[in-house]
Amino acid sequence: MNQFSFGYNRIFDYITSQGTGSCAAANLIGVGIQNANLGCTGSAGSAKCGPGQYSCGLTSLLMTGYYSIGDRGYSPFQGGTNIFSWSDTLDVVRGKHDFKFGFNIRDNQMNVGTEAFQDGFWVPLSFAYSQNIVSDVLMGLTSVALHDQTFNGPVTGRRWKIYRPYVQDDWRITRDLTLNLGVAWDLTTPISEAHNRQANYIPATNQLLVAGQNGVDEWAGVQRSWTAFEPRIGFAYKAGRQ
């Protein structure tokens, strides 16, 4: 008897801040926060999130003597997976042996979108410049500043596949005792990125291998393991027969 099956599983989570897409840093009080209007188009007070921008919210501000304002870090966030699976099993019975020969394939996709502080993180110190911390913020004067910028977009697509052939023998030695013997071979590919946006640093040779460049493969030089064998030994015994 042969049995074939296919499965698909999808899980996606999205997290946004209250100001996501608002361009609040550009529109605050009609003039915006100078040097913090990131990813917005149009004039201050009526600016909108530009094409392809990921957040366009309000810069995170930690002001001495005031409550913190601004969007949280690592937001917006997208975390999701698509998993495609195929399985085929051939079941053959010969005497006291029940043989199963099978092959599983699992295609994994993980699509994550995030930046640490995509709208900036500012820490203006009390009375550092204009003697008024709010004025310092509106003029774009800050003592500590951080802005996270991802390369070629904030969404990355990880890809890897699992190939798993296996064989198993359920050997019914007696009416009461069955021995289960089997082995599988787990062949998992290294992780690649949908647009080759990954690199692998090798300390021993001081090399940076960038996927898809200078003859480097899609896995940035990471090699798969061919030794992931999975033996299985078990038994079932029926006790108390009358």
pLDDT tens by residue, 18-31: 888 899 988 988 88
pLDDT, average across residues 149-158: 81
pLDDT exceeds cutoff 60 at 242: no
53 vs 151: which has the higher pLDDT:
53
Query: In the chain, where are the structural domains located?
Result: 2-161
In whole angstroms, what is the distance from residue 198 CA to residue 108 CA?
17
pLDDT, average across residues 7-35: 88
Quick one: DSSP state of residue 89? E
CB contact at 8 A, 36 and 122: yes
In whole angstroms, what is the distance from residue 6 CA to residue 12 CA?
21
- Nearest alpha-carbon partner for 33 in 52, 20, 47, 16: 47
pLDDT, average across residues 201-228: 93
In whole angstroms, what is the distance from residue 22 CA to residue 26 CA?
9
In this prediction the pTM is 0.77
pLDDT tens by residue, 178-187: 999 999 999 9
